[in-house]
């Protein structure tokens, strides 16, 4: 299995990281795409990739951190990418949910990172909240020539086809398996199967209790649905999505593996 988007560098997972990785290996998770969110955590992402062969790094400036970046952030980002030829660009994007955001600055930062990804031939992992129209506008004006993932896609159903035409991939997180998110999950039924990926977004996007067999040991028991998401819960996400689409978990695993190859490397596998 491949977790196509998560944050193993997050401090909430630090005390349990050894157990997390051991558990993931034991249940068949063979790859993690670990997304950096800014210069403050890029070093940690690089360290994880150096120490754990199942970790593939991705470096980007998250829209929540736009406005807090150092003057040389883009140069540092390019340096990180050149040091890691197999790395992606992400997590980047647009977000109008956060208070006090600078829409124009977010867009400029996003476009500059997208341009860097295209120049270096790297896949993209894109975050978007309440800015789907603007995102589509930017992607239409400057269509990426590398694969791009709309991670934890929460946009309108009617925009799926428009993003597909631009080359988008879409990832399902366990959070959408909460009964209250049924309408969000239904949107993925409209996504072509060859554009589907799965993710945990750990330690965030925690799935419902029945679909989180693994718990972060050091997390407070009273956290409830706010408990940090254990990356090994990917196995339950696989099973739930496979059942929804009347597939076996193995069939879904093979589908995701093919789609990952196409997104990340620009080629499909048989």
Per-residue pLDDT, 220:
80
Question: Which residues make Cβ contacts (< 8 Å) with residue 15, sequence separation at least 6?
Answer: 217, 218
User: How far apart are alpha carbons 210 and 229 in whole angstroms?
Assistant: 13
Supply the DSSP symbol for 182. H
Q: What angle do CA 59, 142, 173 make, to 5 degrees?
A: 45
Please name every residue paired with 178 in a beta bridge, in sequence order, or none if there are none.
none
Q: By three-state DSSP, how is residue 108 classified?
A: helix
Domains and CATH numbers, the chain: 2-265 (3.20.20.140)
pLDDT digits (tens, 9 = 90+) for 52-106: 999 999 999 999 999 999 999 999 999 999 999 999 999 999 999 988 889 999 9
**Predicted TM-score of the model (pTM):** 0.96
Q: By three-state DSSP, how is residue 229 classified?
A: strand
Residue 90 gets the label, from left (phi > 0), alpha (psi -120 to 50) or beta, of left
Helical packing angle, 249-265 and 234-244, nearest 10°:
110
Name the nearest CA neighbour of 216 among 34, 23, 42.
Answer: 23
Per-residue pLDDT, 114:
97
**Strand 124-129 to 31-35 pairing:** unpaired
DSSP string, 61-97: --GGGTTS--TTHHHHHHHHHHH-TT-EEEEEEEESS
Q: Burial, 245: exposed, middle or buried (Cβ in 10 Å; 0-12, 13-18, 19+)?
A: middle
Please name every residue paired with 128 in a beta bridge, in sequence order, or none if there are none.
94
pLDDT along the chain (270 residues), means of 10: 98 97 97 98 98 98 96 98 98 94 95 97 97 97 94 98 97 97 97 98 96 92 78 97 96 98 79
- Output the CA–CA distances (angstroms, integers) from residue 235 to 128, 139, 146, 173, 214, in the order listed: 25, 32, 28, 12, 10
Residue that the structure tokens 């093979």 belong to? 254
Supply the DSSP symbol for 228. P
pLDDT digits (tens, 9 = 90+) for 32-57: 999 999 999 999 999 999 999 999 99
Name the nearest CA neighbour of 191 among 224, 154, 225.
Answer: 154
Per-residue pLDDT, 224:
65
């Amino acid at each position: 299995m491949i977790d196509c988007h998560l944050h193993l560098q997050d401090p909430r997972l630090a005390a349990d990281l050894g157990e997390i990785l051991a558990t993931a290996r034991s249940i068949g998770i063979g790859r993690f795409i670990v997304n950096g969110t800014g210069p403050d955590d890029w070093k940690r992402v690089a360290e994880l990739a150096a120490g754990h062969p199942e970790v593939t790094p991705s470096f980007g400036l998250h829209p929540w951190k736009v406005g807090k970046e150092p003057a040389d952030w883009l140069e540092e980002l390019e340096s990180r990418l050149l040091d890691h030829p197999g790395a992606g660009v992400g997590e980047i994007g647009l977000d109008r949910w956060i208070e006090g955001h600078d829409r124009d600055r977010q867009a400029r930062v996003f476009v500059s990172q997208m341009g860097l990804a295209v120049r270096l031939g790297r896949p993209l992992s894109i975050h978007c909240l309440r800015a789907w129209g603007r995102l589509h506008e930017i992607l239409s004006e400057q269509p990426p020539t590398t694969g791009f993932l709309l991670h934890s896609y929460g946009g309108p159903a009617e925009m799926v086809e428009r993003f597909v035409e631009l080359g988008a991939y879409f990832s399902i997180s366990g959070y959408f398996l909460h009964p209250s998110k049924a309408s969000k999950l239904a949107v993925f039924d409209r996504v072509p199967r060859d554009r589907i990926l799965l993710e945990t977004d750990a330690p965030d996007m925690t799935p419902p209790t029945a679909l989180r067999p693994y718990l972060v040991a050091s997390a407070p028991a009273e956290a409830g649905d706010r408990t940090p998401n254990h990356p090994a819960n990917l196995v339950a996400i696989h099973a739930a999505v496979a059942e929804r689409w009347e597939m076996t978990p193995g069939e879904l695993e093979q589908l995701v593996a093919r789609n990952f190859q196409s997104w990340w490397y620009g080629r499909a596998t048989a």
